[in-house]
């Protein structure tokens, strides 16, 4: 069957709570947008995407999406999937394109959006984000994959003990004390770096 331009989708909440009644929203989604919800789960695995389209249900984040399933023509689906980016390990890490970092190590991950870490204090010229990008951009950031959920290339950068100490010292430039305290307490040793294309 040829691919439709739009799909009538019922969207309901998948929040884990006691028995509740949640509203169901019916929406006409462009097919590309529906496929975009599938990519974080299935990647560009054509047989798996075809199976999800046929099944007519998908849990994406806190939402359940349901539609009347159909058998998608392989060549049409292949053409549609070609429009989405592929992982490209040849892309070097560019700190200018980085918009989010996640410090990892131990049991806790610390998510750092660029906007939060790049805010300058009243008498500060350098920001924590500047220090983080200087360390991350100094080499060693390894391409991991393309994150369809974040719409970004994902890089991983492992830090030396000296680099961790430098980043902890740079937290003095952070305007948010909660974030500053998390970075000081957490035993991180690496960062996931998300860069737009």
**Extents of the domains making up the chain:** 6-82, 95-195
Q: Residue 16 pLDDT > 60, yes or no?
A: no
60-118, pLDDT tens digit by residue?
888 899 999 999 999 999 999 999 999 999 999 999 999 999 999 978 899 999 999 98
What span, in angstroms and rounded, lies between the C-alpha atoms of 3 and 25? 23
- Residue 195 CB neighbours (<10 A): 22
Q: What is the pLDDT of residue 24?
A: 85
For residue 130, give the nearest of 91, 96, 165 by alpha carbon.
96
Instruction: Say whether pTM exceeds 0.75.
Output: yes
């Amino acid at each position: 069957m040829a691919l439709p331009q739009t799909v009538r989708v019922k969207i309901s909440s998948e929040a884990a709570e006691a028995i509740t009644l949640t509203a169901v929203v019916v929406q006409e989604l462009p097919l590309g947008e529906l496929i975009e919800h599938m990519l974080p789960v299935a990647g560009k695995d054509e047989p798996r995407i075809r199976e999800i389209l046929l099944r007519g249900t998908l849990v994406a984040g806190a939402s359940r999406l349901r539609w009347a399933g159909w058998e998608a023509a392989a060549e049409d689906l292949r053409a549609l999937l070609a429009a989405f980016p592929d992982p490209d390990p040849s892309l070097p890490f560019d700190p200018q394109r980085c918009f989010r970092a996640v410090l990892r190590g131990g049991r806790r991950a610390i998510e750092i959006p660029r906007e939060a870490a790049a805010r300058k204090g009243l008498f500060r010229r350098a920001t924590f984000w500047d220090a983080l990008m200087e360390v991350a951009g100094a080499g060693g950031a390894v391409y991991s994959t393309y994150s369809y959920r974040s719409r970004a290339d994902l890089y991983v950068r492992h830090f030396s003990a000296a680099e961790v100490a430098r980043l902890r010292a740079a937290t003095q430039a952070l305007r948010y004390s909660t974030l500053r305290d998390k970075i000081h307490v957490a035993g991180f040793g690496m960062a996931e770096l998300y860069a737009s294309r």
